[in-house]
Amino acid sequence: MISPDSAAELRAERRFDLVVAVLIGVIAVLAAILSAIQLDASQASTRDNLQAARLAADLSARIAVSEQAIDSGLGTQQTALMLGIESAAREIAGLQNDDASTSAVGKAQAAAFDKLRAALTATSATTGGQPVDSYTAGLLNATTQQLLTELAEQNRQVDLASAAGAREERGVLGLSVLALAGVLTGLAAVLREGRGGRLSLSAACAMAATTALLAVLAFV
């Protein structure tokens, strides 16, 4: 017949073993959750960083090409304007002096002015028709509003990458704490019911609770 003291110790050991078994299961579940969170956050951070880098490169290209196109367009417009003024002056001089050759040169310059202006208009107004592809046309025609919109999106991608990086860090921290909780749970199982075992088990439970909190924060 088992004495009351022995029965009490047996019940205490069974409760202790039950707590250890439940804690091991909780640790396993938390490890799976945190691993999934850490992997997803890592992939999201990499994806958002790549997108931010792509947008930054595209912004640089748009700014450089659009500024060059504007400068070139202004220079060509000035050249065309001077050619138009000179052709008109030659035609007027030819009519006043009854000089057919001067009038002919003026008419030739006027025709060249019309062709140059038409070519400039076609280049500035391109929307991706041949021989300019749509991407190059977008670089040439980039407006300030478009650049500001793309800059805002690039900043948003940077913020998303930072948030994903923070979630990944919380996931890694949670896994580290969880590993220590697993070690303490194993130590408690070895020490069994007793002061040392109870302390190890209590510490493991506290760390598992902390890890659960980190898992919740990783979703935020």
pLDDT digits (tens, 9 = 90+) for 21-44: 888 888 888 888 888 888 898 999
- Tokens in use for 37? 């969170």
SS3 192: coil
What pLDDT score was predicted for residue 131? 62
> Which long-range contacts link 175-178 to residues 24+ away (Cβ below 8 Å)?
175/31, 175/34, 175/35, 175/38, 177/207, 177/210, 177/211, 177/214, 178/27, 178/30, 178/31, 178/34, 178/207, 178/208, 178/211
Cβ 194 vs Cβ 13: under 8 Å = no
Sequence-ordered alpha helix ranges (H) in 97-143: 100-124, 134-140
Cβ 41 vs Cβ 168: under 8 Å = yes
CA distances to 93, 129, 130, 147 from 134, rounded to whole Å, are: 46, 7, 9, 17
What pLDDT score was predicted for residue 4? 53
Calculate the dihedral angle through the C-alpha atoms of 155, 156, 162, 166, rounding to the nearest 10 degrees.
160
Cβ 49 vs Cβ 161: under 8 Å = yes
Domain count within the chain: 1
What pLDDT score was predicted for residue 1? 47
SS3 208: helix
Please give the residue range of the domain that contains residue 175. 4-219
Write down the pTM of the prediction.
0.63
Q: How far apart are CA 217 and CA 174, in angstroms?
A: 10
DSSP string over 34-73: HHHHHHHHHHHHHHHHHHHHHHHHHHHHHHHHHHHHHHHH
What backbone torsions phi and psi does residue 84 show, to the nearest 5 degrees?
A: -65, -45
Q: Amino acid letter at 79?
A: T
What pLDDT score was predicted for residue 14? 77
Spans of the chain below 70 pLDDT? 1-12, 69-77, 80, 83, 90-91, 94-95, 98-100, 102-103, 105-106, 113, 116, 119-133, 218-220
